[in-house]
Structure 1
Amino acid sequence: MATSSEHADNTTARGYALEGTLLEICSCGAPCPCFIGEDPDGGACYGVIAFNLERGVVEGVDVSGLTVVNVAVIPGNALAGQWRVVQLVDERASVAQHEALLRAFSGDLGGPLADLAGLVGELVAVERAPVSHGAENASGHLRVDGMVDAALEPIVASPDGAQATLHGSPFSTVAGAPAYVGKSRTFRVNLPRYGMSWSFDGRNTIQTAWHMEHRP
């Protein structure tokens, strides 16, 4: 049963307002060409995209503090779509929160998340799983119990210790917010039941502020 806090915001009773970070970890070199609209290294991109929701409401349901992870095989240019995706939803979500997140990220509620969902050619499966998201500015870790294990470190761009960043890229969804570029110390995906298992080290990680809102 949903808690009272899950129905705290009537302003999004028919839509959503989500804010947090987007973290991409993949098989491409750093920075990932997909993030700037170019074709992936080697012709295909094998990665995960984690949406860490620092604050969020979907149809009046508070989903703050939860994480949705898309494990994706992108067969060519990311903007051309046809992604093959397994979606992993934070197991801490209540039934109401889980259902709300699925409605939003499936594109059923319209808005910019529908555009994002339109890139998916095949949603292979949806699973609930323990998610540990400890990443900030492309530094830290992302773990989904037994399925995804990644450790990240930023790329330092100058002698004064400033991190490498991108600005104005197609997948940066907050105007003016930098996308922090890093590399994976380790990156493992273990989903053989869906034909998704890979291991890459020293490849791309990008993390940026993320915000999507839709009120029909």
Structure 2
Amino acid sequence: MTYWKLKGRELANCNCEYGCNCQFGGLPDKGGCQAVFAMDIDEGFHGDTDLSGLKIAAVFQWPGPIHEGKGEAVAFVDERASEVQRNALLTIMTGGDTDPFATVFAVFASTVEKMHDPLFVPIEFEADVEERLGRLRIAGHVEMDGMPIKNAVNGAPVRAQIWLPDGFEYEVAEVASGRSRSIAPMTIEHSDSYAQFAHLHLDSHGIVRAQ
């Protein structure tokens, strides 16, 4: 197994209500799940291959709870990546060179039946985790926006966090509101739904825990 490590910022948006039961082993409140994910890799490597500064994204869809499988997915990889970097990122994103179910990539990959061919494209993505502001644009394919949840009475931003010390994606996530629209090769759309911002620090064995 080739050892890898990624450290960066994430924005993800699904069709669940704010809170997302799936974060706690519950069932999706819409019956099925659809989600968009993006990550800006601040530091990373796969073996001797440097992955720092690259961006990745993905679209997922499941007809029921994620753990029941039958999922569909497509991976987007920064077009700036070399062939070696592309192969490394796709290996990580599909659960390769990873302990079983140790990362969100490995867990999700185990539930996907239909994996579209990866797309190597320009990825416009920025995320401010603490401010809960983010934006993803992949022309002709998918767009996603994340923003603070607003108080229904006075419009003030609402801040909430999820802490999962034994999770497989993050230790702490900032809960936000999001909207996403994907048109190719998968079609999904949702708005005013659960979003999360997080600082991810993952390796072949799972989350790299804060000391």
Match of residue 123, structure 2, among 104, 128, 131: 131
Stretch moving more, 38-47 or 71-80: 71-80
Distance (Å, rounded) in 2 between the aligned partners of 1:63 and 1:154: 30
Equivalence map 1:148-167=2 (5 Å): 148-155=142-149, 163-167=159-163
Letter in 2 for 1:210: L
Identity of aligned residues (%): 27
AA aligned opposite 1:141: R
Which amino acid is the alignment partner of residue 63 of structure 1?
Answer: L
Deviations 1:56-85 (A, max 9, x none): 001210111112211000222223333210
Instruction: Report the TM-score when normalising by structure 2.
Output: 0.81
Is the contact made by 2:11 and 2:134 (CA closer than 8 Å) also made in structure 1?
A: no
Task: Give the match for residue 24 of structure 1.
Answer: 12
Q: 1:36 to 1:202 in 2, by over 3 A?
A: same
TM-score, length basis structure 1: 0.79
Q: How many angstroms apart in 2 are the aligned matches of 1:202 and 1:124?
A: 27
Question: What stretches of structure 2 of length at least 5 have no aligned partner?
Answer: 206-211
- How far is the alpha carbon of 1:98 from its aligned partner? 0.6
Separation (CA, whole Å) in 1 of partners of 2:50 and 2:21: 34
Task: Give 3-state SS (helix, strand or coil) of 2:23's partner.
Answer: helix
Of stretches 132-141 and 63-72 in structure 1, the one that deviates more from structure 2 is: 132-141
Q: What residue is the counterpart of 1:5 in the other structure? A: none
Equivalent residue for 2:201?
Answer: 211
* Structure 1 residue 200 corresponds to structure 2 residue 190: yes
Offset at 1:170?
Answer: 6.7
**Residues 188-214 of structure 1 deviation map (CA, whole Å, 9 limit, x = unaligned):** 1111xx4x2232221111122212212
Task: Mark the runs of 5 or more structure 1 residues left unpaired by the alignment.
Answer: 1-12
Amino acid corresponding to residue 189 of structure 1 in structure 2 = S
Q: How many residues are paired up? A: 197
2:190 aligned with 1:187: no
| CA distance, structure 2, for counterparts of residue 156 and residue 172 of structure 1 | 28
Give matches, 1:109-120, under 5 Å: 109-111=97-99, 112-113=102-103, 114-120=106-112
1:104/1:92 Cα in 2 relative to 1: closer, same or farther (>3 Å)? same
1:102 aligns with 2:96: no
Q: CA RMSD, aligned part only? A: 2.6
Alpha-carbon displacement from aligned partner over 1:78-128 (angstroms, at most 9, x marks no partner): 233332101111112111111111122222313235444223232122111
Q: Any conservation in 1 of the 2:148–2:157 contact (CA below 8 Å)?
A: no
